[in-house]
A and B are shown apart, each in its own frame.
Chain A
Amino acid sequence: MNTNYPALLVIAPLLAALICSLFSWSAKKLCYPTALLGLSISFFSAYKVLIQVLSTGTIQYRMAGWAPPMGIEYRIDLLNSFVLLLITGIALINLVASYQSIQQETKEKANAFYSIYLLFVTGLIGVTATGDLFNLYVLLEITSLTSYAQIAMGDKDRSPLASLNYVFIGVIGASFYLLGVGYIYIMTGSLNMLDVATLLPALHGSSAVLIAFIFCFLGIWIKMALFPLHIWLPNAYTYAPTAVSRVIAPLMTKVMVYVMIRLMVTVFGFEYIFEKLHLAEAVVWIATIAILAGAIMAIAQKDLKKMLTYIIVCEIGYMVGGAWLGNELGMTGAILHIINDALMTFALFLAVGNMVYKLKNVQYSNLQGLFGKMPWTMAGFVLAAFSIIGIPPTCGFFSKWYLILGAFDAGAYHFAIALIISSLLCAVLFFKVFEISFFNSGHDKIEMSEAPVSMLIPLGLVSILLIITGIYSDKIVNTIILPFLQ
């Protein structure tokens, strides 16, 4: 049984989603436990896969027993086993944390909501684990379709419109990716990532491969909400239900960054991207603009949740810029930042979710005296804010440190300056929020109305996790990221 963990990893949430949908019609009580069981099996097998990869190297799992170029194959190496562990962990913790808010927001349809939540996680796991280009498109469609539906279940007035805009731009992105895969297929004849990587070097001169490269990355940048293509993200994540924004915000865009790095490292290869094409400098400039624009727009916001979405746009600029610097330091910083940023964003959205559960709306004017009302949530929020700004013990500092080193090493000073400026802007941002919520301009005495315990423990757990990944970040880099890049 132990050789089937990669398949079990994807099948467990899918089966749990189906059984949960069956139970939602008959035995409503069993829906939540099935969801928990499915995700914990998936988390356990992700852990087992990580151990296996660390001990024996890359795992190859042939679906339906066919050899790779013929059938579909799962190649799990160091990078995606860690990202898989991250996805399943965050999804499991979020399911536990948002039980109350799901009951509160999706009243009689909560049981069916678990099913579509699990399908979203299946899509993410499949996107990360697959080794086949077209299979990645199908799973990308599952992830997008479930996120359209989940986002549209949010607040009555704005979320359907935000979701429909997300549908249009998401379909353009996915279709551009499909077009890119079509161009790769017409030139090389294969769909398997490894196979394509061996066939591509012979075709480096041809314009079709160049256009395939451009459209693949264009599609992924749209899905990733890189700066000029990020129009759909702020509304979609702000008006989504809290349980949904807490799982989409940290994972969706980070998995797309992982897909970009997978395409860069495994399919197209470094020497094609950095020697043959001269796009790297232009992309680093786009990333710099993304960082600055994200930070500036975040300051202009009046709503805490909307401000966080612009910080996500800014963080995407970090990762894309880091990956395209062209040297090992930058790529290490980008990969480490995927992990750190997922945890930081998850902690921030957990805290904001607790606030929304209690206060119903999180405009700045409504945040008075929050330190008094919800001390534990605010403690988690402060820790996550420190991590975004990049204060040493927390993990945000280390990945930013690698990125800045990589920028200086590659001579991209504009990127390094943008990193520092955005850290300062984030500092200004968060201290404005602390200042509002600390000084109670209201007159009445603040009684402590904290979020329920089941929402506080996950926040505490993730905050501690922030510090642990911070301390062990060099261990992560040496055992996982550097061997992967060699």
Chain B
Amino acid sequence: MRFIALIIVFLCGGLLLYATADFPAWGDPNSPANSYLSPHFIEKSIEETGVPNLVTSVLADYRGFDTMFETAVVFCAGLACFLLLRNYDRKEENFYRHLPTGVIIQFKKGDKTLPVGKEFEHMDTEWVPYDLIIKTACRILIPFIQLYALYVVAHGDFSPGGGFQGGVIFGSSLILYAIAYNLRTLVQRIKEKMLGLFSAVGVLIYAGIGLICMILGGNFLDYGKLTQILPFDPGHIRAYGMLGVEIGVGITVMAVMVVIYVNIVSEGKHDEGL
């Protein structure tokens, strides 16, 4: 098996190397790729869209249709993980710890449960000692990560960043919350239904903005038409359209990252995990 792999690898490698013979030299400004479409994007982006970050303007406006389907890919991943791993059947044994005495109680069959509160406390089978330092450090850190994530989403027009990066950072702050405490606290605080709704609402915001532009007479996703309903000056209307779209992308990516993490780490039971 390894021998076949080596043959295939060297064959593909050889074909690719043969092709690099007449590539344009690396980094010269007038290679076909740098002299055909991109001068228009670089020079006209400020006038047409009013957004200095060229990557965000091309991403959300010139090729905005691509990005909508990219958000649909992220939504697909979240939905796929939910469909594949989520199972609703009850767990057999439950572990409880009696807080005052520290006695651990194990129920073999899953039907009996104890009221979790002052007296009793859930315990995971792979019991992990909760370190106070990690808990308090994360409790302080998480709000600032989320603030930074919102900044990244909002500031996508002027500096590197945008919907995807901001959404991932916000999602990873929630994952940090799940790892620092335990998965049960995250699942209780952010219901699974909320995550499902957020992941769909984000893409709906994106497609909705496109649909509004269509209803207002332009083509799909043509932000220029939004001037008829939004009171902003036409020069910057496309920047606001892009901001709305980035917010939709951020919401979807945040929700999907948490859905994927929760489903993988708890094998779909949403009770115990890393």
Do chains A and B directly touch (beta carbons under 8 Å) in the complex?
A: yes
Task: Give A contacts to B, CB under 8 Å.
Answer: 4, 7, 11, 14-15, 18-19, 21-22, 24-25, 61-66, 69-72, 106, 108-109, 112-113, 115-116, 119, 122, 126, 134-135, 138-139, 141-142, 145-146, 148-149, 152-153, 160, 179, 183, 185-191, 199, 206-208, 210-212, 214-215
Question: What's the minimum C-beta distance from A180 to chain B, rounded to whole angstroms?
Answer: 10
Q: Are A25 and B196 in contact (CB under 8 A)?
A: yes
Q: How many A-B residue pairs have CB under 8 A?
A: 164
Q: Are B63 and A72 in contact (CB under 8 A)?
A: yes
Chain B residues closer than 8 Å to A187, beta-carbon distance: 32
Question: What's the minimum C-beta distance from B21 to chain A, rounded to whole angstroms?
Answer: 6
Q: Which of B84, B214, B224 touches A4 (beta carbons < 8 Å)? A: B214
Known: A116-B76, A119-B72, A187-B32. A109 touches B83 (CB 8 A): yes
Number of interface residues of B (CB under 8 A): 58
Chain A residues closer than 8 Å to B10, beta-carbon distance: none
Task: Give B contacts to A, CB under 8 Å.
Answer: 15-16, 18-24, 31-38, 40-41, 61-66, 69-70, 72-73, 75-77, 79-80, 82-84, 86, 88, 193, 196-197, 199-201, 203-204, 207, 210-211, 214, 218-224
Q: Which of B76, B193, B220, B224 touches A149 (beta carbons < 8 Å)? A: B76
Known: A63-B219, A116-B83. 18 other contacts (CB 8 A): A11-B207, A11-B220, A15-B207, A61-B219, A63-B64, A64-B65, A64-B223, A112-B83, A119-B72, A134-B63, A139-B69, A145-B76, A185-B33, A186-B23, A186-B31, A189-B33, A189-B36, A189-B38
Q: Are B72 and A122 in contact (CB under 8 A)?
A: yes
Q: Are B220 and A18 in contact (CB under 8 A)?
A: no
Q: Are A4 and B62 in contact (CB under 8 A)?
A: no
Question: What's the minimum C-beta distance from A480 to chain B, rounded to whole angstroms?
Answer: 26
Q: Are A18 and B203 in contact (CB under 8 A)?
A: yes
Q: Are B65 and A208 in contact (CB under 8 A)?
A: no
Chain A residues closer than 8 Å to B86, beta-carbon distance: 109
Chain A residues closer than 8 Å to B224, beta-carbon distance: 65
CA distance A24 to B199 in the complex (A): 13
CA distance A61 to B220 in the complex (A): 9
Most buried by A among B197, B200, B210: B200
CA distance A153 to B38 in the complex (A): 44
Chain A residues closer than 8 Å to B18, beta-carbon distance: 207, 211
Chain B residues closer than 8 Å to A214, beta-carbon distance: 15
Q: Are B22 and A207 in contact (CB under 8 A)?
A: yes
Q: Which of B20, B210, B223 touches A11 (beta carbons < 8 Å)? A: B210
Known: A70-B62, A145-B73. A21 touches B83 (CB 8 A): no
Q: Are B220 and A210 in contact (CB under 8 A)?
A: no
Question: What's the minimum C-beta distance from A117 to chain B, rounded to whole angstroms?
Answer: 11
Known: A11-B211, A63-B220. A208 touches B69 (CB 8 A): no
Q: Are A138 and B73 in contact (CB under 8 A)?
A: yes
Question: What's the minimum C-beta distance from B16 to chain A, rounded to whole angstroms?
Answer: 7
Q: Are B76 and A4 in contact (CB under 8 A)?
A: no
Question: What's the minimum C-beta distance from A276 to chain B, rounded to whole angstroms?
Answer: 15
Known: A71-B63, A186-B33, A189-B32. A4 touches B220 (CB 8 A): yes
